Chain A
Amino acid sequence: MNFFKRFAQNRGALVGLVILGLVVVLALLAPLLYPDSPWRMVQRPFLAPGEVSGFWLGTDVMGRDVAAGLAHGAWVSLLIGLISTVVALAIGVPLGALAGYFGGKIDDALMRFTEFFQTIPNFALAIVLVAIMEPSTFSIVLAIAIVSWPPVARLVRGEFLSIKHREYVEAARLVGQTHRDIIIKQILPNTLSPVIVLASLMVATAILLESSLSFLGLGDPDTMSWGYMIGAARTVMRQAWWLSVIPGVAILLTVLALNLVGEGLDDALNPQLARAR
């Protein structure tokens, strides 16, 4: 069976893919649908969804359009989720590869380093990093990447450890391939499947992290994000429940979709495991 067939066998993954597609479309169309800044006050505050036409999701405390915020927030969430995952991979994959391939003292040193970052509570570290670097898209991406690379390094290291003793790698050593070639051509391609699956789940976690930071007021003050919308709605929960429910559902659906797609990728890329399930 080919990749797509196996992926499509997981119905949840298909649903996830559809939801994710919708979120991506929303994010891409945001500047067209709502060309104005989502921070602009456009109506009187606390409009319930559908109360005034043209504001089908209502307005918030300051009279800003919730739908515009949602669309622009989708862009921010996806972008930060994606970029921070790429950065985390860029840190974790080389570290894990070097540690696993060379072993010994290099492995010891790199793994102590990784363990250190894994021991520090994830979210607390992200908070401290963003707070001290001053909240901005850059600092948020960096903080999320810094707290999320250790699992990548460990996964890649584990794969390297198990693959480097495979006979085909030893054969490559015997014929005189360089370490660089062995790492890049022989081993790395064989670690890709689990890394891809992990990466899809990391995007989901990064989106959750970003929204949590924004919720605490540590979002980029220039961009509208879902977490910020919920945080701003917290004090008015009793008067306007929809202000917190709508962006919350958006986060939930996006993260759920990414997880479903991740499971589908896992099924498709690791068929032996899928069959055992």
Chain B
Amino acid sequence: MSEPIQESGAPLLRIERLALALPEGADRLYAVDNVSYDLTAGEILCVVGESGSGKSMTANALMGLLPTGVHVAKGRALFDGQDVLAMDEISHRALRGRRIGMIFQEPMTALNPLMRVGEQIAEVFEAHGLLTPRARKEKALALLEEVRLPDPASALRAYPFELSGGQRQRVMIAMALALEPELLIADEPTTALDVTTQAQILHLVKDLQARRGMAVMFITHDFGVVAEIADRVCVMREGKIVEMGEAREVLDHPRHDYTRALIDAIPADVVAAVGRPADVLAAVERPADVLAAVERPGDAIPPQRDDKDSSPLLSISGLDKVYRSSGGWFQPKREVVALDGIGFSLGKGETLGIVGESGSGKSTLGRCIVGLNRPDNGEIRLDGVDLSALEGRELRAHRRRIQMVFQDPYASLNPRIRVGMAIAQGPIANGVPKAEALAQAQALLATVGLDGGAAERYPHEFSGGQRQRIGIARALALNPELIVADEAVSALDVSIQAQVLTLLDDLKQKLDLSLLFITHDLRVAAQICDRLIVMQKGRIVEHGIAREIFLSPQHPYTRELLEAIPGRRDAPEPATAAAGVL
């Protein structure tokens, strides 16, 4: 096993004026352009950027994993004095896995589905001709213990599909760390995970890094993660470094506007305020921006609105939904409880957030409300009318009043239908003459901040944020009273997220809409919601005014969710602690 490099001063990795050329026809010439940075042993460097910033490209170049068509145009990447970009394949292979380890974003697909976990870990030793098969197995077991996988002995014999996403990511880490590499590259390793799992994995990476004194290059889009883990930060945008420095320095005093925008887009302060009322007071004094939700807690439970809200717009009671796999002839059926006795109500003009991790049933709830799924039991009353008792035309007439904004801006618009038509389709289906519906679509596009020419174009000509605006316009076309937004900003970059949230909030005020905002991201919920419902495994575990839930969560699960949010300022600061070790 190779010794970690101890001599301080000389960086472990030095990237010098690296430029990676994109294939012809791409939207720019270089994936990364003139990028230089150092990474010292025992240091965690976060490379931050939004999608398309080229933040992963440098890491892929180091590992020889560049996508086809992308190649090194100029520059060097010196690892322990040797240029890894100019190395022949054999010496590069000796480096990979042994001295540089890497973990990836998608734990669900990053492991070979046909090989047992133990075999896949043992393979790392085999690749470098180390140990006997028996010793490899023992070492694999020890590694699984080290990454704190529950029941490591049986995990060793498990196939990847038998493990959860977080467990697979632990296996990936075990694999990357097997040969005690000096450099660990982590490419968005927590993005695909639930927030509580993310917190565990971040903690694990930090812990292992401190124990082994590795250098870590941590690629992320999330400044919350940066605050949690980084010693130094390198902010990238469109292939160029816009800012680089000590993590604390960059977080507290970002020099570049772009960095500031990224940091501001994450209302870390709101969340950080948990248990620190003084901060909240300070925050509340700030002008209306992302903190609006906290600033006007009075809007949430509407005492002043009681007069017109004598009956809620939407009231739900006893909603159950169980998913049953049909099973084969001789196969037992499987049941997953998605909703279990859900009940709540939503007033006119109110924004209610439904927060939960994947599998909590929050999306099923939204789909039941709009009518895409049918609940097994329970009532969904819209203005006092029970929708589940309606049929045919009557049902359709009421359905119109509830519309949905979807998650994926790329899948939510039909690629073969012009944007104007996509918006006009609803009114046309409900009997509005075509010309009138199209004219109305034009106006709606203006409402959501797109120019009128947009109507004639196809969806692929728009960016993700613009498509989400189109999706909102489509939902508005039928003059709904309630909009269900299912993870409506989750697929967007943080800077775009803020814009779309502002738009939703504005429209809500202007059009007197109610909003049901479904999200996995408490930070996003904090920006827009009056009240919150926290769901876990199909049940509501906590329900209350958004601000109160943030300040004094009652249910342990809510507390866990809040604590798991990366970047809370009151978190201990292992970053500096680790730096102190060296």
Contacts and interface: CB of A to CB of B under 8 A. Distances in A.
B429 A190 contact: no
Contacts of B416: 189-190
A172 B425 contact: yes
Interface stretch (B104-112, B173-181, B303-311, B403-411): B403-411
A170 B404 contact: yes
A175 B371 contact: no
A170 B406 CA distance: 9
Contact of A186 (B403, B411, B414): B414
A147 to B, nearest CB: 28
A189 B417 CA distance: 10
Most buried by B among A174, A175, A185: A175
A94 B478 CA distance: 31
B412 A175 contact: no
A171 interface: yes
B426 A175 contact: yes
B372 A170 contact: yes
A171 B399 CA distance: 12
B412 to A, nearest CB: 4
Interface in A165-199: 166-178, 181, 185-186, 189-190
A1 to B, nearest CB: 8
A161 B407 CA distance: 19
A175 B429 contact: yes
B431 to A, nearest CB: 10
Contact of A171 (B25, B412, B415, B430): B412
Nearest to A185: B417
Contact of B415 (A1, A170, A175, A190): A190
Contact of B414 (A168, A173, A176): A168
Q: Is the interface of A mostly helix, strand, loop or mixed?
A: helix
A181 B403 contact: no
A141 to B, nearest CB: 32
Given A167-B406, A181-B429, A190-B416, A174 B371 contact: yes
Interface residues of B, number: 31
B214 interface: no
Given A168-B422, A181-B429, A175 B403 contact: yes
A175 B473 CA distance: 12
Nearest to B424: A175
B370 interface: yes
Nearest to A108: B326
A166 B406 CA distance: 10
Given A167-B412, A186-B414, A173 B372 contact: yes
Interface in B361-413: 370-372, 396, 399-400, 402-404, 406-408, 411-413
Contacts of B400: 175-176
Contacts of B417: 168, 185-186
A78 to B, nearest CB: 30
A175 B407 CA distance: 17
B477 interface: yes
Contacts of B206: none
A171 B429 contact: no
B406 A175 contact: no
A173 B400 CA distance: 10
Interface of B: 25, 370-372, 396, 399-400, 402-404, 406-408, 411-417, 422, 425-427, 429-430, 471, 474-475, 477-478
Closest 9 CB pairs of A and B: A175-B426, A167-B412, A167-B406, A168-B414, A177-B429, A189-B416, A176-B429, A166-B411, A167-B411
Given A168-B411, A168-B414, A169-B414, 18 more contacts: A1-B25, A166-B412, A167-B407, A168-B412, A171-B475, A172-B429, A174-B371, A174-B402, A174-B403, A175-B400, A175-B403, A175-B425, A175-B477, A175-B478, A176-B426, A178-B429, A186-B414, A190-B414
Interface of A: 1, 166-178, 181, 185-186, 189-190
26 contacts: A1-B25, A167-B407, A167-B408, A167-B411, A168-B413, A171-B471, A171-B474, A172-B414, A172-B425, A172-B429, A173-B371, A174-B370, A174-B371, A174-B399, A174-B404, A175-B400, A175-B403, A175-B474, A175-B477, A176-B399, A176-B400, A176-B426, A176-B429, A185-B417, A190-B414, A190-B416
